[in-house]
Amino acid sequence: MERCNDSAEYGFILLGFSDRPKLELVLFIVNFALYSVAVLGNSTIILVYILDPRLHTPMYFFLANLSFLDLCFSTSCIPQMLVNLWGPDKTISYAGCVVQLFSFLSVGSVECILLAVMAYDRYAAVCKPLHYLVIMHPQLCLRLVAVAWGSGLVNAIVMCPLTMTLSRCGRRRVNHFLCEMPALIKMACVDARAVEMLAFTFAILIVLLPLALILVSYGHIAAAVLKMRSAAGRRKAVSTCSSHLTVVSLFYGSITYMYMQPGNSASQDQGKLLTLFYNLVTPTLNPLIYTLRNKEVKGALTKVLGRQH
């Protein structure tokens, strides 16, 4: 079968929000502000973790990794979206689209698994407090992060080429603000059900399985908290888990709805808003959630800022 993929030569046109031209300037301002806060907040958490030895514990090691992932996640597409919102040019090169899709698939997958790893860390801290440092030793923490990164890269290495090589018969207009897998699959002029089902299978492994592990971990944590006789102990346990649980709810709530639908049946407008939420709003909120609720991070931040002055 002859392929007629003009996109490989001329790139793609990201339609984004071009059907609402009056909204584009507002979106540019709002998204630029959110992206700036996301970069500043996540960079600050990474910097504080590096500079303050008291934060060199498993919990903050995973938090610093989450902040790095959030930086990568937003940077994979938000700058391009801001460029497209600013002027009439909505194009992206074919190579740029490949890089964007690969980054988005890999980093998004890593974040799903890392959130499950963080839930296990909280389970060990609450349910096995006396053995916590023995269980969560540095080698295990490194291995768990390596597994998360390896799984994300495998997903991207498999799904990115399959998605990009689908024949599109010269179609170049992507009804999205980034090169995202569901939007690119919908452009195919051939039967893409096999690719859709493979994407759905990966979603079960990378989205649903970690989510199940998170729910199991928090089930054990809830049971342990209910058995505690000390009100102070219960408050401390809830406090140490509430930030992570909030982040999980924000991220998984949108990404599960987006990807756990065979044939990606969500509407394009829904898809754009959900993608914008977990790609920009969640990375912006994560540092705020952790710093506002965490005395150790606030203390370390005050110490680092005081040292600069």
Does 6 map to a domain? no
- In sequence order, which ranges of the chain are alpha helices (DSSP H)? 7-10, 21-51, 58-75, 78-86, 94-127, 132-135, 138-164, 181-186, 193-203, 209-227, 231-259, 268-276, 282-293, 295-308
Q: By three-state DSSP, how is residue 37 classified?
A: helix
Does 123 map to a domain? yes
State the virtual CA torsion across 309, 51, 246, 271 in degrees, nearest 10.
90
How many CB atoms are located within 10 Å of the residue 141 CB?
18
More confident residue, 279 or 205: 205
**92 pairs with which residues across the strands?**
12
Integer Cα distance of 19 and 66 in angstroms: 34
The radius of gyration of the chain's CA atoms, rounded to the nearest angstrom, is: 21
What tokens appear for 177 in the block? 């603000």
Residue 309 has pLDDT above 80, yes or no: no
Does 188 map to a domain? yes
Q: Please tell me the total count of domains within the chain.
A: 1
Does 5 map to a domain? no
CATH number where 103 lies = 1.20.1070.10
Q: Where in the sequence is the domain holding 175, given as residue range(s)? A: 12-305
Contact yes or no for 65/142 (Cβ under 8 A): no
Encode pLDDT of 86-126 as tens digits: 878 888 888 888 999 999 899 989 999 999 999 999 999 88
Residue 308 has pLDDT above 60, yes or no: no
Single pTM value for the model: 0.85
Amino acid at 237: A
Does 33 map to a domain? yes
Does 4 map to a domain? no
* pLDDT of the residue at 40: 92
Does 3 map to a domain? no
Encode pLDDT of 225-270 as tens digits: 888 877 777 887 777 788 888 888 888 877 766 665 544 444 556 6
Does 228 map to a domain? yes
